[in-house]
Chains A and B, each alone.
Chain A
Amino acid sequence: AQTVTQSQPEMSVQEAETVTLSCTYDTSESDYYLFWYKQPPSRQMILVIRQEAYKQQNATENRFSVNFQKAAKSFSLKISDSQLGDAAMYFCAYVSNFGNEKLTFGTGTRLTIIP
């Protein structure tokens, strides 16, 4: 079974600084997707960034980028120029691309932005 591990329950960063959130996962499959979702206090889960396992290039979305290390099964999220609106729970998630529709989440990292 696939598992996703986020080892940092809480992180904090000064506004305008850069922070990296860690995620590791375990799978025997070669084709899958990885995601970072953000869940602000209003509780709606919002997609931050997506990575396809067969693409070697790391995904980037504006201030958000990932460091995808397939062999190490590591998928970290870097947030540059942190803003107050980035404060939220961040969840790493995995889904197989082989017909399994189940999205497996980590336990989340609570990110606090210090003004």
Chain B
Amino acid sequence: DTGVSQDPRHKITKRGQNVTFRCDPISEHNRLYWYRQTLGQGPEFLTYFQNEAQLEKSRLLSDRFSAERPKGSFSTLEIQRTEQGDSAMYLCASRPGQGSGNTIYFGEGSWLTVV
């Protein structure tokens, strides 16, 4: 069990550029989540996948944000035309379909700084 893995851990980008984050969940976890966390705040839900199906999206996920999980394993979160307000940590989490008591397991996060 290698845990939830996220890449890159840190990204600095210029406003207007596109960025993509990757998440590799714990093996055999069919549920995968993306959260966003800004300084001094708790994580906020962005979106959720069950296998390859994106089943829920937050209103926080504007048209510039897109998430995919094409084969039901790893997931990507892309932000197009980044804005300074996108600066945050993007957390990925996963859990198995049953047996975890709704407990989700987080990765270390990907820090985004938009300059």
- A interface list, Cβ under 8 A from B: 4, 33, 35, 37, 42-47, 50, 52, 91, 93, 95, 97, 101-108
Contacts and interface: CB of A to CB of B under 8 A. Distances in A.
Contact of B107 (A44, A50, A102): A44
A54 to B, nearest CB: 12
How big is chain B's contact interface, by range? 20 to 34
Interface in B61-115: 89, 91, 93, 101-109
Contacts of B44: 105
Nearest to A89: B42
B109 A97 contact: no
B31 interface: yes
A44 B109 contact: yes
Contacts of A102: 45, 48, 56, 58
Contact of B108 (A44, A91, A107, A108): A44
Contacts of B104: 103
A47 B102 contact: no
B103 A35 contact: yes
Given A33-B102, A95-B102, A101-B33, A42 B42 contact: no
Given A101-B31, A101-B33, A108-B40, 14 more contacts: A4-B42, A33-B103, A35-B103, A43-B89, A45-B43, A52-B101, A93-B42, A101-B55, A102-B48, A103-B43, A103-B45, A104-B45, A105-B44, A107-B40
5 tightest A-B CB contacts, nearest first: A105-B42, A45-B106, A44-B108, A102-B45, A33-B102
A50 B106 contact: no
B43 A43 contact: no
B41 interface: yes
Contact of B106 (A4, A44, A52, A104): A44
B106 to A, nearest CB: 4
Contacts of B58: 102
A108 B44 CA distance: 12
A42 B111 CA distance: 12
Contact of B42 (A33, A44, A107): A107
